Structure 1
């Protein structure tokens, strides 16, 4: 099995249950709040390890209780946390996540230590880059670090996967060039391209625009509609599992992690996407981020 390295964020999530997510100027009452380990990078590392992957992570937390909890939670499923640095005088990243009765969410992230990740930190843990076969990146850490890790990974022949969230408009073409896989959802794809893509045809054309920036394949996740894989050879459609969503937090992260684990086992892109759909189909039926990730046995039982 190939080794996976995740370079990214670690947050403690404050998940708030509400009947409806408030609009500007509205006050709503919550049914409850709980703290759940999260952060896009940590979610992917945790999910990949729990699904049987060989996983290491590079990131940063603060010297506080949240930071210790997040590292311990990753270590508990076998993630190599030697590349996660603890920074003094800086809080651990955290996120506030209201979740409504339909399972939909909104996320506000306070970066904390994630914003302090530097290229020098990457260099201090270059051993993890050298030892891995595949690198997963997201956009909750500084963009210069993402670009630097991509450069290091491509020079060493690693498979590079970008989950472009939180999506940012106006990124230059060379930021995308060299990624093997870019995995936006439909909202993120529109943000990346800086324009509305109101129809399936427009979304597919948007994915092709990323291919023109030097990406090998674009996987667009579509929630209950499943996913597309768009390459220069065409578009493949992958149906979602039929489930009742409770909380969509970490569904995209779990899909990315599952895809990476399947690829690390030598499965094709198509089989890896189908596996990702099964995993995320379970995740949305449970509350929270890392707490919602299934075991391999649970995934095998899903039809």
Structure 2
């Protein structure tokens, strides 16, 4: 039984996943080997991960009235996510992501926002009671920034644990928003953009993280791919190594890490234990293809030594 409620606010997409031998260059035509339609979107990926790991998960987001809208909501329901507050906007298209995955498991992604762009601050304000009734709020940056920042404001107002995954990273985040975050979880590229500093080593990541801590962030966890993750707070820095696995597709690795970390916190784990749990989950995700199709259930994670 989950210890508390988790609310995920964010994007819901349909992913078109193209398998390619390598990522093509500008002007190059390349023959792919397959295409799949897989539910995705950073918000939905995180909600599905948390639900499959056993959490009590609610979601705020929007889908379109096209061929993808109902299947996207049905998919969330099947994973155990509460979808009563998700809007289906008949005149809009659903969010769409075109993902190229190469033979090494690396990817490149183009996202069309669709209905996600309609998740404005008025939509967030209309669901303040849901924010008030939850314990942990998870956010990303694939819906309008005004909605993200309003959600952070409401969650902080009601003393909720606020986790922001700044992906895709904006040029900057207002200091008053950073000061309301309990956890900021970027990857190397996002940390570099937000800090304005190169992040090409673990030591450099720590220095870049300290810049954001000086702006008010309480805790920062930077995911470093095969180098694991780095937890930085006022008490210092802790490096958590990655598990060694054969990567097939890195799609949703970061999303699963963020959600699993939140689930760990919801179960009373320490920050470092929650990071370790998240590391296990994301290490499973990269060994499988697709976004939500790669997310393990709790029994698979618990069985991993």
Normalising by the smaller structure, the TM-score range is over 0.9
**In the alignment, is the contact (CA less than 8 A) between 2:17 and 2:37 conserved in 1?**
yes
1:124 Cα offset (Å): 2.4
**In the alignment, is the contact (CA less than 8 A) between 1:169 and 1:194 conserved in 2?**
no
SS in 2 for 1:9: coil
Give unpaired runs (5+ residues) of structure 2: none
Counterpart-to-counterpart distance in 1, 2:249 and 2:274: 23
Q: Which residue of 2 aligns with 1:67?
A: 69
| TM-score normalized with structure 2 length | 0.97
What is the RMSD computed on CA atoms of the aligned residues? 1.0
Q: Which residue of 2 aligns with 1:23?
A: 25
Counterpart-to-counterpart distance in 2, 1:197 and 1:241: 21
1:108 Cα offset (Å): 0.6
1:52 and 2:54 equivalent? yes
Give unpaired runs (5+ residues) of structure 1: none
| TM-score normalized with structure 1 length | 0.98
**In the alignment, is the contact (CA less than 8 A) between 2:140 and 2:167 conserved in 1?**
yes
Does 221-230 or 194-203 show the bigger shift?
194-203
What are the within-5 Å matches in structure 2 for residues 261-280 of structure 1? 261-280=263-282
Q: Which residue of 2 aligns with 1:180?
A: 182
Q: Which residue of 2 aligns with 1:32?
A: 34
1:198 Cα offset (Å): 2.9
What are the within-5 Å matches in structure 2 for residues 219-234 of structure 1? 219-234=221-236
**In the alignment, is the contact (CA less than 8 A) between 1:97 and 1:106 conserved in 2?**
yes
Counterpart-to-counterpart distance in 1, 2:196 and 2:73: 36
**In the alignment, is the contact (CA less than 8 A) between 2:60 and 2:85 conserved in 1?**
yes
Q: Summarize deviations over 1:113-160 as a string: whole Å, max 9, x none.
A: 001111221222222111100100000000000110011000100000
**In the alignment, is the contact (CA less than 8 A) between 2:197 and 2:208 conserved in 1?**
no
How many residue pairs get aligned? The number is 303
Counterpart-to-counterpart distance in 1, 2:202 and 2:25: 27
**In the alignment, is the contact (CA less than 8 A) between 1:160 and 1:180 conserved in 2?**
yes
